[in-house]
């Protein structure tokens, strides 16, 4: 049986799950809370009228409580890129063990902690946001210049969102060398298996989807705030190493995850996660035999040949610990 399967939790799953239930879940599962989730908690606005569920202090406290009870904090984009480029190889782990340990040993200082995360926001995500804005605008203008709007509109109308995203991902993959030359990244670390390229590919594929929306509807997306989209894409990028993602967002997270990582699991909530993702193992019949008396053990061993494959043994093998 496989063990230690890794799960990603996105914002919708985090917000939509009661704190006590989420704490119980992370005690039994290996879960990464991506850096984007920490940022989104810190920059959350209560709204008007104010909603306590969007209070940044409450959200950050919930984030810390979940980490203290077993979840792992994820690395920021800048840390991941720095590590890949310094090693000239794909990052070994997206888990930030140093930050996780700090969170597990600390108390929330509302003013300094929230301000720290907010300041890191620009460093961590602004360059990606600007890149996608530029790419989507450039892609659309090239279509207009080459008078390909009608062809692109027909292409974008084919299939569902998952199918379209698969096409956009393939298109970006085919332009990898040109894209990396443009951004000045010729390092071996920027390989098709590296996180930096995966995040860029996911982001630019979504940029093509934005261009297709503009091509169909007409209004410019120049004033559209795509920061939430980039956070969502960051969650999906963790499937490079994780086995499954828990997310309820059907507009971006779920379809992009299914298109980019069809071999990975995508769950709508923590209730959908199967037992194979639990931390524990199922012990075989010989473990249970070792726990009984010597005399009874001899009897069991003597009769084990007749029991092999029976419902009795099946039940023993299915016992959890």
pTM of the predicted model as reported, rounded to 2 decimal places = 0.80
Note whether residue 168 is domain-resident: yes
Q: Are residues 290 and 269 in the same domain?
A: no
Mean pLDDT on 37-64: 81
Position 311 scores a pLDDT of: 43
Report the number of distinct structural domains present in the chain. Answer: 2
Q: Are residues 160 and 34 in the same domain?
A: yes
Note whether residue 125 is domain-resident: yes
Mean pLDDT on 108-122: 64
Backbone angles phi, psi at 305, to 5 degrees: -60, -40
Q: Are residues 209 and 294 in the same domain?
A: no
Q: Are residues 220 and 312 in the same domain?
A: no
Query: From CA 56, how far away is CA 2, in angstroms rounded?
Result: 37
Q: Are residues 301 and 221 in the same domain?
A: no
Enclosing H/E stretch for 216: helix 195-217
Which of 40-54, 82-96, 273-287, 300-314 reaches the highest mean pLDDT? 82-96
Whether pLDDT at 274 is above 50:
yes
Q: Are residues 189 and 158 in the same domain?
A: yes
Q: Are residues 215 and 298 in the same domain?
A: no
Note whether residue 304 is domain-resident: yes
Note whether residue 176 is domain-resident: yes
Position 304 scores a pLDDT of: 43
Position 317 scores a pLDDT of: 38
Query: From CA 68, how far away is CA 23, in angstroms rounded?
Result: 9
Q: Are residues 53 and 138 in the same domain?
A: yes
Q: Are residues 124 and 216 in the same domain?
A: yes
Position 231 scores a pLDDT of: 93
Whether pLDDT at 224 is above 70:
yes
Whether pLDDT at 173 is above 70:
yes
Note whether residue 22 is domain-resident: yes
Query: From CA 62, how far away is CA 313, in angstroms rounded?
Result: 43
| Average confidence score pLDDT of the chain | 80
Domain that holds residue 209: 6-277
Note whether residue 169 is domain-resident: yes
| Bond prior to 49 in cis (omega within 30° of 0) | yes
Q: Are residues 262 and 210 in the same domain?
A: yes
Q: Are residues 150 and 297 in the same domain?
A: no
Position 109 scores a pLDDT of: 61
Query: From CA 116, how far away is CA 320, in angstroms rounded?
Result: 43
Position 149 scores a pLDDT of: 79
Q: Are residues 245 and 312 in the same domain?
A: no
Q: Write the CB contacts of 244 (distance below 8 Å, at least 6 apart in sequence).
A: 5, 6, 7, 8, 264, 265, 266, 267, 273, 277
Q: Assign 176 a pLDDT band (cuts: 50, 70, 90).
A: confident
More confident residue, 101 or 282: 101
Backbone angles phi, psi at 230, to 5 degrees: -65, -40
Note whether residue 1 is domain-resident: no
Position 155 scores a pLDDT of: 78
More confident residue, 127 or 296: 127
Note whether residue 10 is domain-resident: yes
């Amino acid at each position: 049986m496989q063990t230690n399967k890794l799960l990603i939790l996105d914002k919708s799953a985090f917000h939509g799950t009661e704190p006590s239930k989420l704490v119980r879940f992370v005690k039994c599962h290996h879960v990464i809370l991506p850096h984007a989730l920490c940022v989104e908690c810190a920059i959350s606005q209560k709204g008007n009228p104010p909603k306590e569920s969007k209070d940044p202090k409450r959200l950050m406290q919930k984030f810390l409580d979940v980490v203290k009870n077993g979840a792992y904090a994820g690395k920021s984009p800048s840390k991941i890129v720095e590590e890949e480029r310094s090693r000239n190889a794909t990052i070994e782990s997206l888990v930030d063990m140093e930050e996780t340990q700090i969170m597990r040993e600390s108390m929330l200082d509302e003013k300094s902690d929230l301000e720290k995360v907010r300041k890191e926001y620009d460093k961590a995500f602004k360059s990606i946001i600007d890149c996608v804005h530029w790419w989507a605008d450039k892609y659309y203008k090239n279509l207009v210049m080459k008078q390909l709007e009608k062809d692109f509109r027909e292409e974008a109308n084919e299939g569902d969102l998952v199918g379209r995203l698969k096409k956009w991902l393939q298109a970006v993959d085919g332009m990898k060398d040109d894209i990396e030359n443009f951004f000045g990244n010729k390092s071996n670390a920027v390989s098709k298996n590296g996180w930096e390229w995966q995040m860029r590919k996911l982001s630019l594929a979504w940029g093509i989807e934005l261009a297709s929306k503009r091509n169909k509807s007409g209004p410019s997306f120049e004033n559209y705030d795509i920061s939430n989209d980039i956070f969502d894409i960051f969650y999906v990028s963790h499937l490079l190493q994780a086995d499954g993602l828990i997310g309820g967002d059907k507009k971006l997270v779920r379809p992009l995850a299914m298109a980019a990582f069809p071999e990975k699991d995508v769950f709508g909530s923590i209730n959908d996660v199967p037992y194979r993702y639990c931390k524990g193992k199922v012990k075989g019949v010989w473990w249970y035999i070792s726990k009984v008396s010597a005399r009874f053990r001899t009897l069991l061993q003597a009769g084990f040949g007749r029991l092999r494959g029976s419902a009795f043994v099946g039940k023993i093998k299915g016992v959890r610990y």
